[in-house]
């Protein structure tokens, strides 16, 4: 593909979000080394994980509808969830990515899902714990990420669910199911 990824991302998501993506790349590569996961693929997924983080809500919804990715009313109400699913479609369309590890890690980096691979867990966590993130509980997840991926993902999901409940916001069914699956399988 002849598209310059840096220019594409800065144009689509802005300089600040692009810099966030670069930090996610570094964390993903560090975790990938620890857990013996393909670093080149992780780099691609981490760089593109927010490629559809469109600020214009109407444009975001229009793009989501064009790919028929609005799964439910939860997604319509909480449009923050759309960018992940849309990002996987943009990665496929604009960069020719067909690798399911990369596409699924982009698609589920916000919500998680049942049966997440180590690859997907790394992208999920790298986005959650990148160095500029600063919120209550992030340090706990940072520590756990280098000890046990499942424990770290579970802690991140618990914190996210608590955050959403405290604010009266909707919770993705994917997150609930992923959390329950981790608990049942550990």
Per-residue pLDDT tens for 29-88? 999 999 999 999 999 999 999 999 988 888 888 888 889 888 788 888 888 899 999 999
Question: Average model confidence (pLDDT) for the chain?
Answer: 94
Chain segment 130-153, per-residue pLDDT in tens: 999 999 999 999 999 999 999 999
CATH number of the domain at 89, please: 1.10.3210.10
Q: Which domain holds residue 109?
A: 5-184
The whole model's pTM is what? Answer: 0.94
The CB density around residue 14, as the number of other CB atoms within 10 Å, is 13
Give me the pLDDT at residue 2, please. 45
User: What are the residues whose beta carbons fall under 8 Å from the beta carbon of 127, sequence distance 6 or more?
Assistant: 24, 46, 49, 50, 109, 110
Instruction: Please state the rounded mean pLDDT for residues 154-183.
Output: 97
User: What are the residues whose beta carbons fall under 8 Å from the beta carbon of 3, sequence distance 6 or more?
Assistant: 94, 95
- pLDDT reading at 186 higher than 50: yes
Instruction: Specify the higher pLDDT residue, 73 or 100.
Output: 100
Go through the chain and tell me how many residues it has: 186
Give me the pLDDT at residue 4, please. 82
Q: How far apart are CA 30 and CA 37, in angstroms?
A: 10
Give me the pLDDT at residue 110, please. 96
Q: How far apart are CA 39 and CA 74, in angstroms?
A: 33
If one counts the domains in the chain, the total is 1
14: left (phi over 0), alpha (psi -120 to 50) or beta: left
């Amino acid at each position: 593909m002849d598209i310059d990824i840096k220019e594409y991302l800065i144009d689509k998501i802005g300089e600040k979000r692009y810099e966030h993506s670069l930090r996610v790349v570094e964390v993903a590569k560090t975790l990938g080394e620890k857990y013996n996961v393909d670093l080149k693929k992780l780099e691609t997924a981490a760089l593109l994980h927010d490629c559809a983080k469109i600020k214009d809500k109407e444009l975001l919804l229009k793009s989501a509808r064009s790919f028929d990715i609005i799964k439910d009313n939860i997604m319509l109400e909480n449009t923050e969830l759309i960018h992940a699913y849309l990002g996987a479609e943009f990665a496929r369309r604009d960069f020719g990515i067909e690798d399911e590890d990369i596409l699924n890690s982009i698609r589920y980096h916000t919500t998680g899902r049942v049966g997440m691979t180590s690859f997907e867990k790394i992208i999920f966590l790298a986005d959650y714990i990148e160095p500029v993130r600063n919120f209550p509980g992030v340090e706990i997840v940072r520590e756990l990420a280098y000890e046990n991926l499942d424990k770290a993902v579970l802690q991140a999901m618990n914190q996210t669910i608590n955050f959403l409940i405290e604010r009266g916001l909707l919770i993705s069914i994917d997150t609930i199911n992923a959390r329950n699956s981790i608990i049942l399988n550990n």
